[in-house]
Amino acid sequence: MEAILSAAREVAIDAVKQAGQLAKQYFDQEKEIVEKDEFGDLVTIVDHKAEAIILQAILSRFPDHQIRSEETGWTGDEGDWLWLVDPLDGTNNYAIGLPVYGVSVTLIYRKEPVLGVVYESHLDNLYVAEKGNGATCNGVPLSMRKGSTLRKMTAGWIQGHQVQKESGAMALKHRLDQSFKRVLRLWAPSIQWCMLARGDLDGMVLYNSEGDDLYAGLLMAREAGAVILDFQGEPFEGMSPEPYIIACHPEHAEAFVEIVRQGVAEG
Protein backbone atom coordinates (compact mmCIF):
# COMPACT_ATOMS: atom_id res chain seq x y z
CA MET A 1 0.00 0.00 0.00
CA GLU A 2 2.84 2.43 0.79
CA ALA A 3 4.25 1.99 -2.69
CA ILE A 4 0.85 2.72 -4.25
CA LEU A 5 0.38 5.82 -2.11
CA SER A 6 3.82 7.12 -2.96
CA ALA A 7 3.22 6.68 -6.67
CA ALA A 8 -0.30 8.10 -6.37
CA ARG A 9 0.99 11.22 -4.62
CA GLU A 10 3.49 11.80 -7.43
CA VAL A 11 0.84 11.30 -10.12
CA ALA A 12 -1.75 13.48 -8.39
CA ILE A 13 0.63 16.37 -7.75
CA ASP A 14 1.89 16.40 -11.33
CA ALA A 15 -1.64 16.13 -12.76
CA VAL A 16 -3.21 18.90 -10.67
CA LYS A 17 -0.34 21.23 -11.45
CA GLN A 18 -0.73 20.66 -15.18
CA ALA A 19 -4.51 21.09 -14.98
CA GLY A 20 -4.24 24.14 -12.76
CA GLN A 21 -1.74 25.88 -15.00
CA LEU A 22 -4.02 25.23 -17.96
CA ALA A 23 -6.89 26.88 -16.05
CA LYS A 24 -4.71 29.87 -15.22
CA GLN A 25 -3.69 30.27 -18.86
CA TYR A 26 -7.33 30.26 -19.99
CA PHE A 27 -8.54 32.56 -17.20
CA ASP A 28 -8.66 35.74 -19.31
CA GLN A 29 -9.58 33.99 -22.55
CA GLU A 30 -12.84 32.76 -24.10
CA LYS A 31 -13.99 29.84 -21.92
CA GLU A 32 -16.96 28.52 -23.98
CA ILE A 33 -19.31 28.62 -21.00
CA VAL A 34 -22.53 26.58 -21.02
CA GLU A 35 -25.14 25.67 -18.41
CA LYS A 36 -25.06 21.99 -17.52
CA ASP A 37 -28.11 21.55 -15.29
CA GLU A 38 -31.48 23.00 -14.27
CA PHE A 39 -29.91 24.97 -11.41
CA GLY A 40 -27.73 27.09 -13.70
CA ASP A 41 -24.46 25.36 -12.78
CA LEU A 42 -21.81 26.04 -15.41
CA VAL A 43 -19.17 24.09 -17.30
CA THR A 44 -16.37 25.47 -19.46
CA ILE A 45 -13.96 24.11 -22.02
CA VAL A 46 -11.33 24.23 -19.29
CA ASP A 47 -13.29 21.74 -17.14
CA HIS A 48 -13.05 19.21 -19.97
CA LYS A 49 -9.44 19.91 -20.95
CA ALA A 50 -8.24 19.80 -17.35
CA GLU A 51 -10.19 16.62 -16.70
CA ALA A 52 -8.59 14.93 -19.71
CA ILE A 53 -5.11 15.73 -18.38
CA ILE A 54 -5.87 14.24 -14.98
CA LEU A 55 -7.66 11.13 -16.22
CA GLN A 56 -4.88 10.32 -18.66
CA ALA A 57 -2.30 10.67 -15.89
CA ILE A 58 -4.18 8.37 -13.50
CA LEU A 59 -5.11 5.72 -16.06
CA SER A 60 -1.60 5.52 -17.49
CA ARG A 61 -0.20 4.67 -14.04
CA PHE A 62 -3.18 2.90 -12.43
CA PRO A 63 -5.25 1.33 -15.25
CA ASP A 64 -7.05 -0.99 -12.82
CA HIS A 65 -8.27 1.79 -10.49
CA GLN A 66 -11.80 3.13 -10.69
CA ILE A 67 -12.34 6.87 -11.24
CA ARG A 68 -15.29 9.16 -10.62
CA SER A 69 -14.83 12.55 -12.26
CA GLU A 70 -16.98 15.67 -12.26
CA GLU A 71 -17.71 15.78 -16.00
CA THR A 72 -17.03 12.25 -17.30
CA GLY A 73 -18.61 10.32 -14.44
CA TRP A 74 -17.51 6.76 -13.69
CA THR A 75 -14.59 4.98 -15.36
CA GLY A 76 -13.38 1.45 -14.63
CA ASP A 77 -14.55 -1.39 -12.43
CA GLU A 78 -15.26 -1.18 -8.70
CA GLY A 79 -12.42 -2.30 -6.45
CA ASP A 80 -10.46 -1.24 -3.39
CA TRP A 81 -9.18 1.97 -5.00
CA LEU A 82 -11.26 4.89 -6.20
CA TRP A 83 -10.08 8.26 -7.50
CA LEU A 84 -12.33 11.33 -7.24
CA VAL A 85 -11.55 14.17 -9.63
CA ASP A 86 -12.87 17.72 -9.75
CA PRO A 87 -10.84 19.30 -12.54
CA LEU A 88 -12.11 22.83 -11.91
CA ASP A 89 -13.71 23.32 -8.51
CA GLY A 90 -15.27 26.76 -8.52
CA THR A 91 -16.34 26.87 -12.17
CA ASN A 92 -19.04 29.44 -11.46
CA ASN A 93 -16.40 31.77 -10.00
CA TYR A 94 -13.99 31.05 -12.82
CA ALA A 95 -16.63 31.79 -15.46
CA ILE A 96 -17.24 35.32 -14.16
CA GLY A 97 -13.56 36.14 -13.74
CA LEU A 98 -13.33 35.58 -9.99
CA PRO A 99 -9.98 33.85 -9.28
CA VAL A 100 -11.29 31.57 -6.54
CA TYR A 101 -11.02 28.07 -7.96
CA GLY A 102 -8.90 24.96 -7.66
CA VAL A 103 -8.19 21.46 -8.90
CA SER A 104 -9.03 18.63 -6.53
CA VAL A 105 -7.98 14.97 -6.63
CA THR A 106 -8.71 12.37 -3.95
CA LEU A 107 -7.66 8.74 -3.62
CA ILE A 108 -10.07 6.51 -1.69
CA TYR A 109 -9.11 3.11 -0.30
CA ARG A 110 -12.02 0.90 0.73
CA LYS A 111 -14.29 3.95 1.12
CA GLU A 112 -11.80 5.93 3.23
CA PRO A 113 -9.89 8.91 1.82
CA VAL A 114 -6.15 8.30 2.10
CA LEU A 115 -4.75 11.03 -0.17
CA GLY A 116 -6.06 14.49 -1.03
CA VAL A 117 -4.36 16.97 -3.34
CA VAL A 118 -5.72 20.46 -4.08
CA TYR A 119 -3.99 23.00 -6.31
CA GLU A 120 -4.90 26.68 -6.20
CA SER A 121 -3.09 27.68 -9.36
CA HIS A 122 -3.84 31.39 -9.27
CA LEU A 123 -1.77 31.64 -6.08
CA ASP A 124 0.44 28.61 -6.82
CA ASN A 125 -0.62 26.93 -3.57
CA LEU A 126 -0.32 23.15 -3.50
CA TYR A 127 -2.14 21.40 -0.65
CA VAL A 128 -1.43 17.75 0.13
CA ALA A 129 -3.01 15.59 2.84
CA GLU A 130 -2.22 11.95 3.51
CA LYS A 131 -4.03 9.85 6.07
CA GLY A 132 -1.96 9.70 9.24
CA ASN A 133 0.79 11.93 7.85
CA GLY A 134 -0.70 15.42 8.20
CA ALA A 135 -1.51 18.16 5.72
CA THR A 136 0.77 20.70 4.08
CA CYS A 137 0.67 23.79 1.87
CA ASN A 138 3.73 24.06 -0.35
CA GLY A 139 5.46 21.69 2.04
CA VAL A 140 4.63 23.66 5.19
CA PRO A 141 2.54 21.75 7.78
CA LEU A 142 -1.03 23.00 8.33
CA SER A 143 -2.71 23.27 11.71
CA MET A 144 -6.34 24.00 12.57
CA ARG A 145 -6.56 27.04 14.85
CA LYS A 146 -8.48 27.12 18.12
CA GLY A 147 -10.14 30.52 17.66
CA SER A 148 -11.69 32.53 20.46
CA THR A 149 -15.35 33.29 21.20
CA LEU A 150 -18.03 32.27 18.72
CA ARG A 151 -18.97 35.89 18.06
CA LYS A 152 -15.45 36.54 16.78
CA MET A 153 -15.28 33.45 14.57
CA THR A 154 -15.64 33.05 10.82
CA ALA A 155 -17.42 29.87 9.79
CA GLY A 156 -17.65 28.35 6.33
CA TRP A 157 -20.91 27.24 4.70
CA ILE A 158 -21.18 24.67 1.90
CA GLN A 159 -24.42 23.37 0.41
CA GLY A 160 -25.17 21.05 -2.47
CA HIS A 161 -26.42 22.41 -5.81
CA GLN A 162 -29.69 20.56 -5.35
CA VAL A 163 -30.37 22.21 -1.97
CA GLN A 164 -31.11 25.63 -3.49
CA LYS A 165 -33.50 27.56 -1.17
CA GLU A 166 -34.61 24.57 0.91
CA SER A 167 -36.23 25.90 4.08
CA GLY A 168 -34.15 23.73 6.42
CA ALA A 169 -30.91 24.92 4.87
CA MET A 170 -31.99 28.56 4.98
CA ALA A 171 -32.99 28.28 8.64
CA LEU A 172 -29.65 26.72 9.56
CA LYS A 173 -27.72 29.32 7.55
CA HIS A 174 -29.66 32.07 9.35
CA ARG A 175 -28.75 30.56 12.73
CA LEU A 176 -25.08 30.51 11.71
CA ASP A 177 -25.28 34.14 10.61
CA GLN A 178 -26.64 35.04 14.02
CA SER A 179 -24.02 33.04 15.91
CA PHE A 180 -20.75 33.95 14.19
CA LYS A 181 -19.01 37.15 13.12
CA ARG A 182 -19.11 36.03 9.51
CA VAL A 183 -20.30 33.06 7.47
CA LEU A 184 -18.38 32.56 4.26
CA ARG A 185 -19.54 30.71 1.16
CA LEU A 186 -16.95 30.58 -1.63
CA TRP A 187 -18.63 28.36 -4.26
CA ALA A 188 -15.25 26.54 -4.37
CA PRO A 189 -15.45 23.96 -1.55
CA SER A 190 -11.95 22.53 -1.93
CA ILE A 191 -10.42 25.99 -1.42
CA GLN A 192 -12.71 26.58 1.54
CA TRP A 193 -11.61 23.33 3.20
CA CYS A 194 -7.99 24.37 2.70
CA MET A 195 -8.74 27.69 4.38
CA LEU A 196 -10.06 25.75 7.36
CA ALA A 197 -6.98 23.52 7.45
CA ARG A 198 -4.59 26.46 7.39
CA GLY A 199 -6.47 28.30 10.14
CA ASP A 200 -8.19 31.06 8.17
CA LEU A 201 -11.64 29.69 9.03
CA ASP A 202 -12.76 28.56 12.48
CA GLY A 203 -15.21 25.90 11.41
CA MET A 204 -17.31 24.52 8.58
CA VAL A 205 -20.92 23.44 8.21
CA LEU A 206 -21.78 21.38 5.14
CA TYR A 207 -25.40 20.75 4.17
CA ASN A 208 -26.01 17.81 1.84
CA SER A 209 -23.09 18.44 -0.51
CA GLU A 210 -21.49 15.21 -1.68
CA GLY A 211 -19.19 15.78 -4.62
CA ASP A 212 -15.83 14.97 -6.12
CA ASP A 213 -14.20 17.80 -4.15
CA LEU A 214 -15.52 16.79 -0.70
CA TYR A 215 -13.24 14.03 0.52
CA ALA A 216 -9.91 15.73 -0.25
CA GLY A 217 -11.24 18.63 1.82
CA LEU A 218 -12.34 16.44 4.70
CA LEU A 219 -8.96 14.71 4.79
CA MET A 220 -7.18 18.07 4.64
CA ALA A 221 -9.15 19.38 7.62
CA ARG A 222 -8.86 16.17 9.64
CA GLU A 223 -5.11 15.91 9.12
CA ALA A 224 -4.75 19.56 10.19
CA GLY A 225 -6.45 18.74 13.51
CA ALA A 226 -10.13 19.40 12.89
CA VAL A 227 -12.79 17.11 14.29
CA ILE A 228 -15.31 15.90 11.66
CA LEU A 229 -18.83 15.24 12.95
CA ASP A 230 -22.31 14.65 11.60
CA PHE A 231 -25.22 16.89 12.67
CA GLN A 232 -25.89 14.62 15.66
CA GLY A 233 -22.36 15.21 16.93
CA GLU A 234 -21.15 11.70 16.04
CA PRO A 235 -17.83 11.15 14.23
CA PHE A 236 -18.22 11.22 10.46
CA GLU A 237 -16.25 8.46 8.74
CA GLY A 238 -16.10 7.00 5.28
CA MET A 239 -18.40 8.27 2.54
CA SER A 240 -22.04 9.30 2.38
CA PRO A 241 -24.33 10.12 -0.58
CA GLU A 242 -26.06 12.82 1.54
CA PRO A 243 -23.54 14.20 4.03
CA TYR A 244 -24.39 16.71 6.75
CA ILE A 245 -21.09 17.67 8.37
CA ILE A 246 -19.57 19.89 11.03
CA ALA A 247 -15.81 20.49 11.09
CA CYS A 248 -14.05 22.59 13.70
CA HIS A 249 -11.41 22.61 16.42
CA PRO A 250 -12.14 19.80 18.92
CA GLU A 251 -12.56 22.27 21.79
CA HIS A 252 -15.40 24.03 19.93
CA ALA A 253 -17.20 20.89 18.79
CA GLU A 254 -19.91 21.02 21.47
CA ALA A 255 -20.76 24.65 20.69
CA PHE A 256 -20.89 24.03 16.92
CA VAL A 257 -23.13 20.99 17.34
CA GLU A 258 -25.51 22.98 19.56
CA ILE A 259 -25.76 25.83 17.04
CA VAL A 260 -26.49 23.38 14.24
CA ARG A 261 -29.05 21.58 16.42
CA GLN A 262 -30.86 24.88 17.00
CA GLY A 263 -30.78 25.77 13.33
CA VAL A 264 -32.13 22.38 12.27
CA ALA A 265 -34.93 22.62 14.85
CA GLU A 266 -35.92 26.06 13.54
CA GLY A 267 -36.13 24.69 10.00
80 is in an annotated binding site: no
86 is in an annotated binding site: yes
88 is in an annotated binding site: yes
Beta strands in the chain (DSSP E): 34-35, 42-43, 66-69, 73-75, 81-89, 102-109, 112-120, 125-130, 134-137, 140-141, 154-159, 182-184, 203-207, 227-230, 244-248
Half-sphere exposure of 256 (CA within 13 A, CB side): 29
212 is in an annotated binding site: no
14 is in an annotated binding site: no
Helix, strand, or coil (residue 51): helix
Kindly give, in sequence order, each residue whose CB lies less than 8 Å from that of residue 230, ignoring residues fewer than 6 positions away: 236, 243, 244, 245, 246
Binding site residue list for Mg(2+): 70, 86, 88-89, 213
Binding-site positions read: 70, 86, 88-89, 213
